[in-house]
Structure 1
């Protein structure tokens, strides 16, 4: 195995995580890695001072290019678009910052950033790259990157879940949520849903899902009440967070992630599009 191959393999999980956080899609992240690899094998390694930084740079550039293409594609997406869920190993949940950065709620916040803002935020806040390294990756000056980072940080802070929610608290909320659905206990269900809770369903036009968000505790509870009779609910670690996996007749049907603010469920994200559930049969390694 050549030096270039060994280096790429050593950093592959990191590069995948960078691409996934920028794109919210494992399939697109894999395509980006393939493009990064093709560029990497053509590089004279003797000219590369920091191979990890170089790989992150070419991965970021490919992800930025793809992100701009995806933005146009998502405009015509049928119904709400949600990130592709990943079954993750327990060590992802143990890295609180990483788990927070790949949570469904955070990835949706990142969707509201412009492509360059998203790249700068991810590289700075999640991977702690220096401004001059980020500048090379996004073709901006370090001064411009500082401004972009400040703007992106303020944008995300105004929209992200309030405070880092410990996994134990999320797990308790998930257990209470699951119990309320399985027992049909409407009062308990309403007790853990925020009054303005929103349920987003992603069917992608392939399977049935609401084309607009369902908003309000009673409306959401009504939709959830239909699940219990036909489905089995199982907790799993998805994107580093406790999440419910819903099966119908033993087949994977929906991955439902929660957003929790101040102890109440404020967001429910139900991914049903079968094309987005292909990574749920094996664990995905994410790294910082």
Structure 2
């Protein structure tokens, strides 16, 4: 009976959230864009052959302009840029999602622990957080990507390690606010331990903030991955949108005017980043109506 009541409340909360989200036109646009790009990435093996990523025996000529045979033209190896764009969506989205999830997980853990325990331990955690916060994130990510072995997991780790402090500070502030409420004192008086308080009472209250922060962090992670790949610090064995820009720069597409090599991956990166950003803002407005009213 209790379990059924809990699930009924969760379904009701999701229904109320969706009703509020549908009123956010920008959020709906962003969600539509993400669904389309996600579907394209999932169907990449059906839309483009895996051989399109190979530089050996590429069917097209180098740097061919868009045509009926190659809708977005070809690269310097004769590979279809449309096929590369489709396969690159998988890598860019995967890196963005995983890096943002890891970053938010680290920030949430640090924020909840610091807000719950307080004292010198919280002070030490916050000073470490401040150190990461004042460090230039891109510079630190470049250093990590340079020192560690090159690969997708290195890029994900570099992005996550440099982007968690903002989440940690937000979650800590929310945790302190939650723990000042009377029901936390009652739970403590009834014998609730630290783990019980943090997991059963504090974490559910900060999850809306965590969800919004994750959505916003994905766009930052995708842009950072594209920047690292553009600087030649990505995984050379995979195709990503940032890697395509790097290849275009090395092939001289900028100086030679081969716009069809630069425009598609650049537009794709910008579209996904904007879509995730407006979705995150919409989620914030739904979960925090006062924030939406202020805007």
Give me the TM-score of the superposition, normalised by structure 2.
0.28
- Between Structure 1 and Structure 2, which shows a larger proportion of helix residues? 2
- Between Structure 1 and Structure 2, which shows a larger proportion of strand residues? 1
Give me the TM-score of the superposition, normalised by structure 1.
0.29
Q: Which has the larger radius of gyration?
A: 2
